[in-house]
């Protein structure tokens, strides 16, 4: 146990040290400026303390971000307003709901396309180039258009954001599932043929179970992509809720601490969701005897 913990702690400590150091370096000019304007002379200790406690630092120090996160999560829960519109729980929930819906839609689309590609020669020849082309267009260019177009037909709120998540998350699922559905060996497919199995029997009993390890790997990538999609989807709408909206509002008003706390919350959410899939993967594959 200790042998695993020690290297991790070392890395974390190094990161924090670098972070604090960078905060000093980046925030020092402003601190000196302020001091000069007030006609004061800053000693080293005072300067360091100042760079770690500015209201709008270029780079907030970790404890400032932590305090902000606590203020908008735990402290609000203690005050009985854990789900108020100012809490990060509320914003995380908004982003999570778009992420989850987009992830489900993207997975469904990805699996459907993969089945088409594996079973239909025409689709095999024609679909993949489009799938790849779709991912070469920057999402930041596509996202506003999706939102504007859907708004024009009266769809707003959750669905447009979920569509952007879907747009990003179907790709790893298609690629992984095509590989997974094609993973049975020639011998296993011949075996099915000797039993005169129908294509659908071969699919449900051989191809689909064989593809599970590939599916889970794709789902992890897809989930992370979905979250990015949901956040990006919250930017152009000028949305008032969601982690993306917090990022946007923070950058309007130069609230760097708020930006960083939204970023860290997004990263935590991503880690939790990907970890959850990893857990389901371990349990499923173990039960299937595939690990």
Partner 1 sequence: MTKNTVISATDLSLTFQTNDGPVHALKDVSLNVEKGDFVSFIGPSGCGKTTFLRVMADLEQQTAGAITVNGVSPEEARRSRAYGYVFQAAGLYPWRTIGGNVRLPLEIMGYDKSDQDARVKRVLELVDLAGFEKKFPWQLSGGMQQRASIARALAFDADILLMDEPFGALDEIVRDHLNEQLLHLWNRTDKTICFVTHSIPEAVYLSTKIVVMSPRPGRITDVIESPLPRDRPLDIRDTAEFLEVAHRVREGLRAGHGDAV
Binding site for partner 1 (CB under 8 A): 185, 187-188, 190-197, 201, 205-206, 209, 287-290
For the CB of residue 283, give the shortest distance to partner 1 in the complex, in Å.
13
Residue 144 or 213 having the CB closest to partner 1? 213
Burial (0-12, 13-18, 19+ Cβ within 10 Å), 224: buried
Q: How far is the CB of 286 from partner 1 (least distance, A)?
A: 11
Q: How far is CA 266 from CA 29, 228, 255, 259, in A?
A: 30, 9, 17, 11
Nearest to 124 by CA among 196, 204, 191, 181: 181
Q: Give the DSSP per-residue string, 25-86.
A: HHHHHHHHHHHHHTT----HHHHHHHHTS-SS-SS--HHHHHHHHHHHTHHHHHTT-TTSTT
Residue 19's closest CA among 59, 75, 51?
59
Residues 6+ apart with CB under 8 A from 176: 110, 114, 214, 215, 217, 218, 221
Distance in Å, CB of 78 to partner 1, minimum: 48
CA angle 264/268/271 to nearest 5° reads 140
How many H-runs (helices) and E-runs (strands) does the chain carry? 13, 0
The least distance separating partner 1 from the CB of residue 185, rounded to whole angstroms, comes to: 8
Which is nearer to partner 1, 192 or 239 (by Cβ)? 192
Task: State the Cα–Cα distance between residues 202 and 196, nearest whole angstrom.
Answer: 10
Identity of the residue, 131 or 197, whose beta carbon is nearer to partner 1 in the bound complex: 197
Burial class of residue 128, CB neighbours in 10 A (0-12, 13-18, 19+):
middle
- CB of residue 198 vs partner 1: minimum separation in angstroms? 8
Q: Tell the smallest beta-carbon distance from residue 287 to partner 1 (Å).
A: 8
By beta-carbon proximity to partner 1, the closer residue of 129 and 289 is 289
Helix (H, G, I), strand (E, B) or coil at 141: helix
CB of 188 to partner 1, least distance (A): 6
Q: How far apart are CA 108 and CA 103, in angstroms?
A: 8
Smallest gap from Cβ 73 to partner 1, in A, equals 42
In the complex with partner 1, the residue whose CB is nearer, 126 or 201, is 201
């Amino acid at each position: 146990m200790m042998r695993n913990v020690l290297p991790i702690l070392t890395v974390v400590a190094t990161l924090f040290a670098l972070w604090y150091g960078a905060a000093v370096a980046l925030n020092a000019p402003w601190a000196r400026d302020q001091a000069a304007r007030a006609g004061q002379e800053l000693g080293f200790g005072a300067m360091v303390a100042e760079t770690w406690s500015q209201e709008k630092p270029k780079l907030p120090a970790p404890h400032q971000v932590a305090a902000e996160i606590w203020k908008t999560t735990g402290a609000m829960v203690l005050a009985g307003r854990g789900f108020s519109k100012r809490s990060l729980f509320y914003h995380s929930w908004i982003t999570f709901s778009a992420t989850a819906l987009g992830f489900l839609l993207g997975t469904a689309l990805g699996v459907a396309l993969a089945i088409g590609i594996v079973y239909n020669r025409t689709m095999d020849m024609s679909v993949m180039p489009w799938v790849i082309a779709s991912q070469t267009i920057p999402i930041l260019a596509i996202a506003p258009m999706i939102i504007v177009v859907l708004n024009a037909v009266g769809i707003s709120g959750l669905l447009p954001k979920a569509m952007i998540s879907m747009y990003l998350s179907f790709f790893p699922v298609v690629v992984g599932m095509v590989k997974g559905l094609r993973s049975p060996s020639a011998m296993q497919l011949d075996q099915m043929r000797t039993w005169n199995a129908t294509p659908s029997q071969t699919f449900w009993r051989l191809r689909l179970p064989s593809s599970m390890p590939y599916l889970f790997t794709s789902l992890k990538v897809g989930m992370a992509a979905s979250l990015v999609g949901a956040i990006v989807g919250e930017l152009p709408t000028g949305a008032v809720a969601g982690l993306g909206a917090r990022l946007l509002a923070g950058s309007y008003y130069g609230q760097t601490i708020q930006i960083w706390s939204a970023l860290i919350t997004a990263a935590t959410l991503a880690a939790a969701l990907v970890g959850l899939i990893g857990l389901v993967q371990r349990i499923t594959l173990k039960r299937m005897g595939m690990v």
